[in-house]
Amino acid sequence: MKKFIIFVAAFAMVGAFVATAMADVSLYGSARFRTYYADNDPGGNESSSGDLEWRIGHLTRFGASFKSDKVTGKFEMDARAGGAGATADNDNDSNASRLGNMRLRQLWGQNDLGSWKFLIGQNYPLYDAPVSGINYYSGGFQKFGGIGYDVARTSQMRFTMGNLRIALLPADTHVSGVADSPTTSDFTDDNDVTLPKIEIRYDWKGDWGVLNFIGGYQTYDAVRDVDDKDVTISSWVLGARGKFNFGPAYLGLSATYRQNGENYGAWTDVYEEAVYDGNDVQDTTAMGAVAALGWKINDSNTLEGSIGYVKSEIDLPGTYEDKRVAYGLMWKYTVAPGFYIVPELIYQDNTETKIEGDLDEDNGDVTIFGVFWRIDFK
């Protein structure tokens, strides 16, 4: 019996090695380093402060792509601070990578069934369409009115039919249900979910560039801590992006409109959470847009300027408004194939937060300048 078990185990190991040998496996990686200085003026009577960032880039990564007949797959890790629980706004721990914190970025498999493809695993959601090439915020200007997630990749089941993709994802409830006001919350993390989030995307490509149209919807019940009352939170997103080529120049544009974007999981720098007024849920709506204009001077030099704008509103007894504007310039210099140095200058105008009859607050601004370093290898 022992000999039989050993034989089966050996046969399985040989089979695994043969299958790997038959597959097309490509290893790759990208080492990234951040050297930035941020001058933060909080507004009002508060003093300005400056911070130096000098560390490995949290999007430093290593991975492998697999392809065998009609099956493809990918595995990828990165050096994101905070490991698996990291979000887009908690990546400033300079010790994270030194302490061994790593995060799974992608792990998925896809089967080509002829007229359609089926994917399961962790991959980018469909509501992800960056425009700006700015590296400081990781996703360009996605949090300033762009199309993207706070946690960029997620579990999903995806169907692809030509240019149309449909994905079923776990509902995002990392924001604790709903707030009782834009500054307080009596809701617990005990959320009841009965349906997955659904996203639909259509891509139209040509020699001129690409157009993307995206929509998503999710709903769940949040539980109020003080009286155990269930409150239904429904969120949706709409987005469109275009990237156009004009010889050595290119233009990128995106626009999004969404309801309760933070509850949905969208990456944003303004308040986008639903509010419970004691009787009903008051939804927060937001609109945003990002534009980027670039020029490839030659094979070694590319210049780009970009702008992002986002504004949210809640219809309470008074009107709550929150908005941000960001401007960016970057110069991408290719030192050698796979080696890039990218100086960047960013001005983030935090504008103001308004609560009618209560608050009209100047949120100050942030000026950021520095260099992003990148070496790709495979």
- For 316, the domain range is 35-56+122-377
Q: Which of 58, 38, 82 is nearest to 346 (CA)?
A: 38
pLDDT for 83 equals: 47
pLDDT along the chain (378 residues), means of 10: 47 47 86 95 76 89 95 92 50 53 90 97 97 92 95 94 97 63 61 94 96 97 78 94 96 97 93 84 94 97 98 79 94 98 96 65 89 96
In-domain check, residue 50: yes
Q: Which of 282, 281, 285 is nearest to 261 (CA)?
A: 285
pLDDT for 81 equals: 57
CATH number, position 235: 2.40.160
pLDDT for 75 equals: 97
In-domain check, residue 93: no
Residue type at 337? Answer: P
Please compute, for residue 254, the number of CA atoms within 13 A of its CA located in the half-sphere on the CB side. 32
In-domain check, residue 110: no
pLDDT for 11 equals: 43
pLDDT for 57 equals: 87
Number of domains the chain contains: 1
In-domain check, residue 114: no
333-361 pLDDT per residue, tens: 999 999 999 999 999 998 777 666 555 67
Q: Which sign does the torsion angle of CA 91, 46, 284, 228 carry?
A: positive
Q: State the pTM of this model.
A: 0.86
In-domain check, residue 83: no
Q: How far apart are CA 179 and CA 187, in angstroms?
A: 7
In-domain check, residue 96: no
Residue type at 211? Answer: L
pLDDT for 329 equals: 98
In-domain check, residue 107: no
In-domain check, residue 72: no
User: Locate tokens 């089967």: which residue?
Assistant: 111
312 with 273: CB under 8 angstroms?
Answer: no
Task: Supply angle C-alpha 250, 255, 261, rounded to 5.
Answer: 140
73-107 pLDDT per residue, tens: 999 999 875 544 445 444 445 555 555 567 899 99
